[in-house]
Structure 1
Amino acid sequence: MIELNRILGANYFFFYNYSASPNIDKVLEHYSNRGLVKVIQWRLPFPVTIVNMTTEEIHYYGQLAVINDCVYRNKGASSFVVNQDIDEFIIPRKQNNWSSMINTLPTKRQNFMFRSAFFRKDWSDVNQSDLSSEDRLLAERYMSVTILKQVREDVVFPAYTRSKWMARPECIEVAGVHNIHIRKNVVKCKTYVLLLAEGLLHHYRSLRNEWK
């Protein structure tokens, strides 16, 4: 997840950790020591459970608080903030990275929204002919779904439904999971919804996913 996003243009990562396995902790520690990751231990003032969540949970462990905390930490520090889950990737359709993609988009827009599609992990891997045997072995060894799973569902969700965004933090007053709720300046901080030919949010999941 980290390496692909670095290729795409991310320079720094914030992880809000409610719980993680020892292996994940080691990976995060490795990147933290390299100056690429900040891990914020995230706790809510009451117990939560990952199974059979009730209406007493604060919207899946306080996502809105997490997102806005990240936005405000990056004001004056980052050109853009990118909001996506660990199983999601914002993929340019014509360029090789986010910076090149943004340079082709309307210059008067400061917030960019990406529509989402499911790339199914329970479907067959990419055809043998599309990967060299060496590349396939590496992808299988590291369980790289972004290489092995290249077929998506036909449905592309409309904007504001499962979409994710990248935006200039100075333009955000209140951020949401799928869009910017309140902009600092409605004239200067307009949102541009990318065409499918420009960019797409790849969401890698199985049919029976633990989270809806």
Structure 2
Amino acid sequence: MNRILGAEHFVVYNYSISPAVDQILQRYQQDGLVTVLPWPLPTNQVFYFGQKSALNDCVYRNRNISRFIVVVDTDEFMIPTNHSNWMEMIAATSPQEYDVSTFVHSPNTPKKAHTKTGCFIVRSSFFSASSRANWTSLPSKFSFTEKEKHNILKYNIQTLSQFLRSTVFPPYQRSKYIARPDLIYNIGMHLVHTFVDSSSCTVVSNNVSLVHHYRELDRRTSQSFPLNITDTSILRFKSQLYPRVMEKFKLFPNIFK
């Protein structure tokens, strides 16, 4: 999904992974798509596996290489509601600063007005991570063939089977973001803490984009944030997403049987 939305490279900080995941990551490294960095920090000496250190390492590692970095967890997807990709979303959110026609494979700043928006905050909501599909809640215009349904359930493709979400969290609470590494001094999980200049964060309207966070909710959380809103925005990408995912499964027949 992230590739469809515009991601060109991924940085993975490896604290601990299974042999199967290691095999998959090795293949993506060979393809030049992923950089895997060992991250065996002592958990009794750092907070939450050294997450903040990893994030800031990613910023400085990508400075003068990537124009933007996208901060999301592996169970989260930053989905534009109407735009085709993240770059179109950014250009629409800050049209006076960013011209989508200037987004080429270069770290150089777009030649437009002086950039003041160095971070785009996207609000978050919970989606179910259940292995049971809830296709019955979908409008009739969204259809799946029986083969598609079979494969989606077989491989537990949650992005194409879970469409009930919670209410949207306020900005900076569970939110994730897209940021300019050349403008950043220090970041956290949900926002940029310090810029190198007078740049600032812009909160993207949840009508423009939303983080879909697929996770199992405990009883207390599910009572506080019931999944009772149907959201089919990701289905705009189904025709691209489904065949791509199925092709990737075929690369690892000994893992995905």
TM-score (norm 2): 0.72
1:168 is the counterpart of 2:180: yes
Provide structure 1 residue ranges, at least 5 long, that are not aligned to the other structure. 49-55
**Amino acid aligned to 1:8:** L
1:89 is the counterpart of 2:77: yes
8 Å CA contact 1:122–1:207 kept in 2: the answer is: no
Question: Which residue of 104, 115, 118 corresponds with 2:123?
Answer: 115
Offset at residue 80 of structure 1 (A): 0.2
SS in 2 for 1:68: helix
**Amino acid aligned to 1:60:** Y
1:204 is the counterpart of 2:204: no
Q: Distance in 2 between matches of 1:71 and 1:15?
A: 13
Question: Residue 191 of structure 1 corresponds to which residue in structure 2?
Answer: 201
Question: Residue 104 of structure 1 corresponds to which residue in structure 2?
Answer: 92
Q: Distance in 2 between matches of 1:99 and 1:139?
A: 29
Identity %: 39
Structure number with higher helix proportion = 2
Offset at residue 43 of structure 1 (A): 1.5
Offset at residue 121 of structure 1 (A): 1.7
Q: Any runs of at least 4 consecutive aligned residues in structure 1 with deviations exceeding 4 A, and if so which?
A: none
Structure number with higher strand proportion = 1
Question: Which residue of 9, 12, 20 corresponds with 2:9?
Answer: 12
Offset at residue 190 of structure 1 (A): 1.9
Question: Residue 53 of structure 1 corresponds to which residue in structure 2?
Answer: none
Offset at residue 57 of structure 1 (A): 5.2
Q: Distance in 2 between matches of 1:62 and 1:11?
A: 25
Structure 1 residues 57 and 120: CA distance shift in structure 2, 3 A: farther
Note the aligned Cα RMSD (angstroms).
1.7
Provide structure 2 residue ranges, at least 5 long, that are not aligned to the other structure. 98-115, 220-257
* Greater alpha carbon shift after TM alignment, 144-153 vs 56-65: 56-65
Question: Residue 158 of structure 1 corresponds to which residue in structure 2?
Answer: 170
Q: Distance in 2 between matches of 1:123 and 1:158?
A: 28
Aligned length: 194
